[in-house]
């Protein structure tokens, strides 16, 4: 382990290297360049950076064990982030609203304390380490560039032990904010950021905005990074798995799913089917559950209560195994889906795998392993330890957002959602079963329809920053204008404001109902 200690402006000392290399490295113009130089000299080491205030409480034991492979970059700032909250205006991902109490996936890195393997540094392009003399700016740039290519980026409180010092940490200038926006986002976002600053912050930073127009950099087009392989010994007897399938009116499609499960090279222990039929006095139509012999136990729940959230919650209560496969009732997959996913998850040291799930003629565009922004409740395999204490929020029942909300529950518990392009699932997108009716919500009685849907608003209120919420509102305002009938801009603005407030009203009602 090599530790680079700094005071935010300059390197104070470098622990763990030879004197000759120390002289060469410290002659470099910036701390970020020094990190790359250290990696070049010591490609097998872990490179650590920390402010002098964190040096004595550096959790060295954790850092030594934190790299089963070299996809990781960790950092931690206990009290804030380098970029101000206004970055939320231009990014709606879950990587903005960081939970500082747990390991949390985010590209927002910090110079306060952090660690990365030297071999990971050398996978990146040196020019990105030379874009600024500000270490915070460079670390954020590196993580933002390479996170979509498979680098696992985390805010990790375990890097330090019992941090109590009060230190003024560096924050980005408005110039650096616009430079970063120009560097990392499509051209339109720098203009959108300026608009939001004017509307919501009453600021007009014209010069930073203007100069950022000329500051974009050419990103390397890389399909995937050549990360290290990690092959743990897997005890397949302990890697048991249960399958959860909610279903309603899709008897034939569900049968095919069960057949695919029955020929898996690693068989499920239990398949938990929650069959819904709202018709009173009706009975199960799934006769093949009992008429055929299956190589796993089928736990069958029949209920007249409909709704995917409550169905999955009933199934979660019956989990027994080490893993859980959240499956839809209209998917098809190969016989090695479970074994490959469990094997890949162990190799990546991950506990939540979200699989590619496309229709037959959909073009697959995501071909890299990376930190996923969503969660698919019909195509994910999750460690049981992650699921303890979690439930699908019933406030989203029959609406939108329960998958995304469940993913946020996972992240706020200290776990991550990783997208795996292989093995893939085929989604048949079967027609709705015959027992479904269009749900009627209380807000349908409103004289003005809420915009957006109250369940979408609920997710935003629960999991987004205020700036993310306002950024989403602004985008929705412009997008919706094209498709609605009011063409007078002032009249449209007044109507949109009313619809927005009605949506907030009902989102809060949904939230209160679920808390009772």
How far is the CA of 183 from the CAs of 118, 177, 205, in angstroms? 24, 10, 18
**Average of pLDDT values for 436-442?**
78
The pLDDT score that the predictor gives to residue 218 is 54
The answer on pLDDT for 105 being more than 70 is yes
Give per-residue pLDDT as tens, 296-328: 999 999 999 999 999 999 999 999 999 999 999
How far is the CA of 16 from the CAs of 22, 48, 403, in angstroms? 9, 10, 46
**Average of pLDDT values for 211-229?**
69
Give per-residue pLDDT as tens, 49-101: 999 999 999 999 999 999 999 999 999 999 899 999 999 999 999 999 999 99
Averaged pLDDT score across all residues of the chain: 93
The pLDDT score that the predictor gives to residue 5 is 95
Distance, CA of 76 to CA of 157 (rounded, Å): 6
- Return the percentage of the chain with pLDDT > 90, whole number: 84
Closest listed residue to residue 267, CA positions, set 201, 338, 321, 204: 338
* Confidence grade of residue 179 (pLDDT, cut at 50, 70, 90): very high
- Compute the half-sphere exposure of residue 311: CA atoms within 13 Å on the CB side of its CA: 30
Alpha helices, DSSP H only, in 47-173?
60-65, 118-123, 126-129, 135-146
The answer on pLDDT for 164 being more than 80 is no
What backbone phi and psi angles, to 5 degrees, belong to 245? -135, 105
- Helix then strand count (H, E) for the chain reads 18, 16
The answer on pLDDT for 375 being more than 80 is yes
The pLDDT score that the predictor gives to residue 223 is 47
How far is the CA of 233 from the CAs of 62, 214, 263, 344, 346, in angstroms? 22, 51, 24, 12, 9
The answer on pLDDT for 516 being more than 80 is no
- Three-state DSSP class for 285? coil
**Average of pLDDT values for 463-476?**
98
* Confidence grade of residue 22 (pLDDT, cut at 50, 70, 90): low
Give the number of other CB atoms < 10 A from CB of residue 166: 7
Give per-residue pLDDT as tens, 112-138: 999 999 999 999 999 999 989 999 999
Distance, CA of 368 to CA of 507 (rounded, Å): 36
* Confidence grade of residue 167 (pLDDT, cut at 50, 70, 90): confident
- Return the percentage of the chain with pLDDT > 70, whole number: 94
**Average of pLDDT values for 144-163?**
94
Give per-residue pLDDT as tens, 194-211: 999 999 999 999 999 999
Find the farthest-apart pair of alpha carbons in the chain and give their distance in angstroms, rounded.
Answer: 84
The pLDDT score that the predictor gives to residue 20 is 66
**Average of pLDDT values for 221-243?**
82
- Asked if residue 172 has a cis previous peptide bond (ω within 30° of 0), the answer is no
The answer on pLDDT for 435 being more than 70 is no
Distance, CA of 264 to CA of 333 (rounded, Å): 10
What backbone phi and psi angles, to 5 degrees, belong to 341? -65, -45
The answer on pLDDT for 351 being more than 80 is yes
| Cα–Cα–Cα angle for 100, 105, 107, rounded to 5 degrees | 100
The pLDDT score that the predictor gives to residue 402 is 95
Give per-residue pLDDT as tens, 241-294: 999 999 999 999 999 999 999 999 999 999 999 999 998 889 999 999 999 999
**Average of pLDDT values for 38-51?**
95
The answer on pLDDT for 456 being more than 70 is yes
């Amino acid at each position: 382990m090599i530790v680079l200690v700094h005071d935010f402006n300059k390197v104070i000392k470098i622990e763990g290297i030879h004197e000759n290399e120390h002289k060469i490295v410290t002659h470099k113009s910036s701390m970020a360049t020094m990190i790359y130089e250290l990696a070049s000299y010591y490609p097998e080491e872990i490179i650590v950076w920390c402010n002098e205030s964190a040096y004595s409480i550096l959790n060295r034991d954790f850092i030594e064990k934190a790299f089963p492979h070299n996809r990781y970059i960790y950092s931690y700032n206990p009290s804030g982030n380098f970029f101000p909250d206004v970055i939320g205006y231009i990014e709606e991902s879950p990587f903005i609203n960081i939970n500082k109490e747990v390991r949390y996936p985010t590209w927002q890195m910090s110079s306060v304390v952090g660690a990365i393997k030297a071999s990971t540094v050398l996978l990146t392009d040196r020019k990105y380490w030379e874009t600024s003399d500000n270490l915070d700016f460079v670390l954020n740039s590196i993580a933002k560039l390479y996170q979509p290519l498979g680098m696992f980026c985390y805010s990790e409180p375990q890097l330090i032990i019992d941090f109590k010092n009060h230190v003024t940490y560096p924050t980005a200038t408005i110039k650096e904010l616009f430079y970063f926006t120009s560097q990392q986002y499509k051209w339109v976002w720098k203009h959108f950021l300026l608009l939001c600053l004017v509307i919501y912050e009453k600021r007009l930073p014209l010069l930073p905005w203007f100069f950022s127009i000329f500051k974009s950099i050419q990103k390397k087009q890389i399909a995937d990074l050549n990360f290290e392989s990690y092959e743990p010994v897997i005890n397949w007897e302990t890697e048991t798995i249960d399958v959860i399938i909610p279903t309603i009116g899709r008897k034939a499609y569900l049968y095919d799913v069960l057949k695919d499960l029955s020929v898996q090279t690693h068989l499920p222990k239990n398949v938990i089917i929650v069959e819904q039929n709202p018709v009173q006095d009706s009975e199960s139509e799934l006769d093949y559950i009992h008429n055929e012999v299956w190589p796993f136990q089928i736990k069958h729940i029949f209920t007249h209560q409909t709704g995917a959230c409550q169905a999955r919650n009933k199934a979660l209560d019956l989990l027994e195994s080490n893993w859980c496969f959240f499956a839809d009732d209209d998917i098809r997959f190969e016989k090695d889906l479970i074994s490959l996913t469990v094997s890949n998850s162990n190799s990546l040291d991950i506990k939540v795998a979200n699989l590619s799930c496309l229709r037959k003629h959909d073009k697959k565009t995501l071909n890299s392993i990376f930190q996923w922004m969503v969660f698919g409740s019909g195509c994910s395999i999750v460690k049981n330890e992650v699921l303890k204490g979690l439930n699908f929020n019933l406030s989203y029942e029959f609406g939108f957002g329960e998958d995304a909300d469940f993913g946020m529950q996972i992240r706020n518990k200290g776990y991550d959602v990783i997208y795996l392009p292989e093995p893939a699932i085929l989604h048949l997108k079967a027609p709705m079963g015959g027992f479904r009716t269009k749900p009627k919500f209380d807000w349908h009685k409103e004289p003005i329809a809420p915009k957006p849907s109250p369940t979408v608003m609920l997710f935003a209120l629960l999991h987004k920053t205020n700036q993310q919420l306002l950024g989403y509102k602004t985008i929705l305002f412009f997008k919706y204008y094209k498709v609605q009938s009011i063409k007078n801009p002032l009249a449209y603005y007044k109507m949109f404001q009313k619809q927005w407030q009605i949506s907030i009203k009902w989102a809060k009602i949904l939230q209160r109902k679920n808390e009772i």
